[in-house]
Chains A and B, each alone.
Chain A
């Protein structure tokens, strides 16, 4: 099915923004979301099923996030922890989550975020990252176990609050 850039933007900008919030941080998320659509507007959108178009879109997003990480490695920015003294508990947790995510290998972090934040299925993630669905499952699980270890304390606190199991993110 043929889709134009404006429709893609309207449909996916919120998901892309959430993905970038976790992948590169909220300060840069807005700019990178715009960059995805700049690239999309200059590219030929594949005429394919919705899942494939979505995988293509997140492949672009992933490349932008990786470029951003490479630039940041060359020019490191000061840690936001040092900038603010007072912070809400939820912001602390948020920061801890982002730091734990940043410590993951790039590919593991991306497959995890595409599943957990964006809600893509294993097949779509596989297409976006060049992996088989089995490899996606393994990497997601490995990322989860590492995050579980790093975020043991906030996870334990979160377990004391009633939770809801929601599989696919819409």
Chain B
């Protein structure tokens, strides 16, 4: 591999290059092979950037969806709690439940002064 092939890199990179030197380099089968290999290498190296999204590409979308779901859950809980509470208080106000047991007080109650046993 010689320095004469550096012109191939410059050509690939859209940098200024000597046309004669490029013609000479590409005149050799080895030079043409280098050119094709370097184009293939470029494809390989640039591949990963396409597969991995940049930080801002994914994070805000995910966080905003999570935030919306969390807000919706809180809202549903609040509305549900309010409605259940309202129904219970209405039924409690409208009718008192019937007594389940009636306690009869003994007939002879006696009042005693406080702090002393009879």
Contact = CB atoms under 8 A, between A and B. Distances in A.
Consensus secondary structure, chain B interface:
helix
Interface string B23-49: 000000000001011111111111111
A122 B44 CA distance: 21
Contact of A158 (B9, B40, B57): B40
Interface of B: 1, 3, 5-6, 8-10, 12-15, 34, 36-49, 51-52, 54-57
Interface of A: 13-14, 17-18, 21-22, 26, 29-30, 33-34, 90, 93-94, 97-98, 101, 113, 115-117, 121-122, 133, 137-138, 140-141, 144-145, 147-148, 151, 154-156, 158-159, 163, 165-169
A140 B13 contact: yes
A169 B42 CA distance: 11
5 contacts: A97-B44, A101-B45, A116-B45, A140-B13, A141-B5
A47 to B, nearest CB: 26
A76 B44 CA distance: 26
B44 to A, nearest CB: 6
Contacts of B45: 22, 97, 101, 113, 116-117, 147
